Structure 1
Amino acid sequence: MTDTTRTLDILTRNLLDAAAKAGADASDAIAVDGSSIAIDVRGGALEHAERSEGVDIGLRVFVGRRSAVVSSSDVRPETLASMAERAVAMAREAPEDPHAGLADPAQLIASWDVGALEMCDPAEDPSPAELQEDARIAEAAALAVSGIGQVQSASAGYGRRRVHMAASNGFSGGYTRSSRSRSCVAIAGEGATMERDYDGDSRTFQSDLRSAEDIGRIAAERALERLNPRKPKTGAWPVLFDERISSSLIGHLLGAINGSAVARGASWLRDALGEQVLPKGLSLIEDPFRPRMMGSRPFDAEGLPVQRRALVEDGVLKGFTLDLANARKLGMDPTGNAARGTGGGPSPSSWNIALTQGSASRDELIAQMGTGLIVTSMIGATINPNTGDYSRGAAGIWVENGVPSYTVSGVTIAGNLRDFLPRVIPANDGRAYLSRVVPSLLVEGLTLAGE
């Protein structure tokens, strides 16, 4: 245990002691020590640099079935005592919640191996000069592409967070997480015809990060592809959701099986357990044990073991995403999916997700679709959480007779998620290093509103 980790462990235990002295029947605490640096370059020179560091703490107390949460960035002993007293006073005034409460000790994780998850890069933190050079190289690579007049932003960043959680039911555990990122936004064209697009990468280990040159070049190429857009004809057409944005469709499914939405009755999949929600042969797997992934963790925010599980198996919905409170509301077992920050209590969240990949390439699906739309970016969203009605603005490339023909923008895509998700056809281009591995997805017969 490092000195910092030991400090966070002591902080959480001191918060629990303060809560007990203030009159709490039970409590849990979280302490986060983080540092980050972000660099922006413009015109080859440093435009903006931001560094932040500090410790944040959060305390949740229970008085019977009433609870309250308080947080602070002040870790002095007198502040901990004041926090606990304030939290207990708030809890006594809060309404009762029959589903509130900590995990039973028998539910808690018994052991874990943080090292196997490789959540933190052991390499030295990059210097500000190294990050500035990353951003400069990305900008230069974008500007080197013919047709790119300017770069809106070129950025690089690094962060490291240490987290420790403890509860009066006996749980205590923590981990450290690191991240390194590069990004670029390039602009093509002039005046009213200007178009922009983006590329970026974020990894746990710096050595895994894609090169700055690659990111700048791809941002430029994407911006050029967006020039001189048209509007397609209104009608029902096949739509290929490019791998860049296809995870948004699966994100809507994940939102609908989130236990909080299901327990509120605000989900179009609230009664769909055991029903077909994706095509036969497709599964959606959650795996929090993938090394070096942003969504990996040894335990959840309530000290419960996480698990690899099939959310959807062979197209059939197998389970919801549940923390303790929502599991109790639904009369189900928790799934180890509680997440929390210092300023609030736990809520359900998904970890690493992977959708079954198809046998066809993206180009083969484009040829198969005949005439239709490849969506490469989306704006706005109108999703009815109760019915699954779907409407989003989009831009991309129009396909004629299986051949990409021209750029389109200002088109609206509409349909119903419950109706069209069971008809998606996956490509084989999902990027395995992402926390959400979702390939390009072809959907027949969506409504496009254009000209």
Structure 2
Amino acid sequence: MAQTPESLTEQMLDAARKAGADAADAMVAGGTSVSIEVRDGKLEQAERSEGMDLGLRVLIGKRQANVSISDARPESIAMMAERAVAMAKEAPEDPYAGLAEPAQLAPAPDIAALELCDPTAEPSPSALQDDAWAAEAAAMAVEGVTQVQSATGAYSHSTVHLAASNGFSGGYARSSRAIYATAIAGTGEAMERDYEGDSRIFQSDLRGATEIGTIAGQRAVERLHARKPETGAFPVLFDERISSSLIGHLLAACNGAMVARGSSWLREKLGQQVLPETLSLIEDPLRPRVSGSRPFDAEGLATAKRAVVDKGVLTGWTLDLANARKLGMASTGNAARGISSPPSPSSWNISLTQGSQSREDMIRDMGRGLVVTSLIGSTINPNTGDYSRGASGFWVENGEIAYPVNECTIASNLHDMLRHIVPANDARAYLSRVVPSLLVEGMTLAGN
């Protein structure tokens, strides 16, 4: 009889008990991924991977260890458990390590309601190749595009099951269908590149390959003849394509592991204003058909909708069990883990309050400044929030886009930037991070 992810986790827990573990949790992750890449109308690369990985965490008192394997034979599982117990006995004590109490565990979730997996059949390699070809052809049809660096059609299907000695057992499947294209415009040292792509759980939601290729081509052409902007203090509009990176810095500073280590620039800001009072930042891991959704976290706790920032005020940290214990708080159900690593805090689906103006309205009203469409490198001080990044995009003059720019640096401090951001209304609702274009007044630009 074929082994299921659920039966494999039970085998690992049984092996851990026999090896002498006081407590344990086990995870099985497996799946299939297919990627077809074309170039110059020919097949460039075809990849398919299939596999299953097993991970076991054991606890001996307050000592813990993690071991992972890709061999599901009973003798390999037994050896894995023995090795994990031996490692745990030699590990340093962690007073905050431990599984969830049974009363903390998630009830049986309605996984079907989350629509995490497309029930339609896996697309054939030829169908993925056709999408890649269509995206490449559409990009090449844009005047000014000289080549397409890559065009890809991809599909993946994965399953995960988690079980623990505290009685928890649960799992689910995910699927993903994607199309990407990267176009190049110009020649020689004047070449510019840009991209477009789409990834959805359900194939029926995926945007067309022609649309994706056309947008990639248009974006590459728009970047031709770029120059450096002026040096000075100007308003900067973070385009919706990259605006979520700003919110990502806030989320990283809200991570309980960072706070517990004392290395977060928000560590003294709990209960204080960190965004404009008109904005809230909502986490909702139960949104249907969204890649960041999940019915329970990596410690078996129920996930739930919560306000990370409520009307501008920071309401709490993102916590797993261990960091919650360190801080004297309760877990927020945000534990994530890999096969070979213990749980740590992570954010799920995030939505920022949208504004009333369109991106075009904001460009018109900013008068003179920079629209950033691409960020390069990163110098973020996690303790102070000092921010400096390379950027490229478009210079705005008299409320209109005047010319493309590159090779500039934008700098400020995240405290000041986030407290005064102004959102547009152009966020894409189907993304895991729903963040519109964001205007930041008075950033320092280093260009000419």
Q: Given the two structures, how large is their TM-score scaled by the length of structure 1?
A: 0.99
The corresponding residue for 1:346 is: 343
The corresponding residue for 2:398 is: 401
How do residues 255-274 of structure 1 correspond to structure 2 at under 5 angstroms? 255-274=252-271
The corresponding residue for 1:206 is: 203
1:151 is matched with which residue: 148, 173, 193? 148
Alignment pair present for 1:418 and 2:390: no
The corresponding residue for 2:235 is: 238
4+ residue runs of structure 1 moved beyond 4 angstroms? none
How do residues 115-126 of structure 1 correspond to structure 2 at under 5 angstroms? 115-126=112-123
1:58 is matched with which residue: 55, 58, 64? 55
The corresponding residue for 2:27 is: 30
Output the CA distance in 1 between the equivalents of 2:365 and 2:91: 58
Alignment pair present for 1:433 and 2:430: yes
Output the CA distance in 2 between the equivalents of 1:311 and 1:51: 39
| Aligned-residue identity in percent | 68
The corresponding residue for 1:328 is: 325
Output the CA distance in 1 between the equivalents of 2:314 and 2:48: 44
The corresponding residue for 1:445 is: 442
3-state DSSP of counterpart to 1:60: strand
The corresponding residue for 2:99 is: 102
Long gaps (5+) in structure 1: none
How do residues 21-420 of structure 1 correspond to structure 2 at under 5 angstroms? 21-420=18-417
Q: For 1:387, give the aligned amino acid.
A: T
Q: For 1:203, give the aligned amino acid.
A: R
CA RMSD of aligned residues (A): 0.8
Output the CA distance in 2 between the equivalents of 1:326 and 1:374: 38
How far is 1:111 from its partner? 2.0
Q: For 1:220, give the aligned amino acid.
A: G
3-state DSSP of counterpart to 1:307: coil
Output the CA distance in 2 between the equivalents of 1:446 and 1:370: 15
Output the CA distance in 1 between the equivalents of 2:85 and 2:119: 40
Output the CA distance in 2 between the equivalents of 1:266 and 1:76: 43
Long gaps (5+) in structure 2: none
3-state DSSP of counterpart to 2:4: helix
Output the CA distance in 1 between the equivalents of 2:353 and 2:127: 38
Output the CA distance in 1 between the equivalents of 2:95 and 2:108: 30
Deviations 1:377-401 (A, max 9, x none): 0110000000000000000000011
How far is 1:10 from its partner? 0.4
Output the CA distance in 1 between the equivalents of 2:359 and 2:51: 45
How far is 1:361 from its partner? 0.7
Deviations 1:138-177 (A, max 9, x none): 0000000111010000001100001100000000000000
3-state DSSP of counterpart to 1:342: coil
3-state DSSP of counterpart to 2:383: coil
3-state DSSP of counterpart to 2:293: coil
Q: For 1:73, give the aligned amino acid.
A: S
3-state DSSP of counterpart to 2:291: coil
How far is 1:368 from its partner? 1.1
Output the CA distance in 2 between the equivalents of 1:326 and 1:418: 24
Output the CA distance in 2 between the equivalents of 1:163 and 1:326: 24
Q: For 1:414, give the aligned amino acid.
A: A
3-state DSSP of counterpart to 1:368: helix
How far is 1:259 from its partner? 0.8
3-state DSSP of counterpart to 1:227: coil
Q: For 1:287, give the aligned amino acid.
A: D
Output the CA distance in 2 between the equivalents of 1:39 and 1:344: 31
3-state DSSP of counterpart to 1:360: coil
Output the CA distance in 1 between the equivalents of 2:52 and 2:162: 13
How far is 1:33 from its partner? 1.6
3-state DSSP of counterpart to 1:390: strand
Deviations 1:375-424 (A, max 9, x none): 01011000000000000000000001111101100010000001110100
Q: For 1:106, give the aligned amino acid.
A: A
3-state DSSP of counterpart to 1:86: helix
3-state DSSP of counterpart to 2:333: coil
How far is 1:363 from its partner? 0.8
How far is 1:97 from its partner? 0.3
3-state DSSP of counterpart to 2:211: helix
Output the CA distance in 2 between the equivalents of 1:382 and 1:11: 44
Alignment pair present for 1:8 and 2:5: yes
Q: For 1:286, give the aligned amino acid.
A: E
Output the CA distance in 2 between the equivalents of 1:393 and 1:282: 27
Equivalences, count:
448
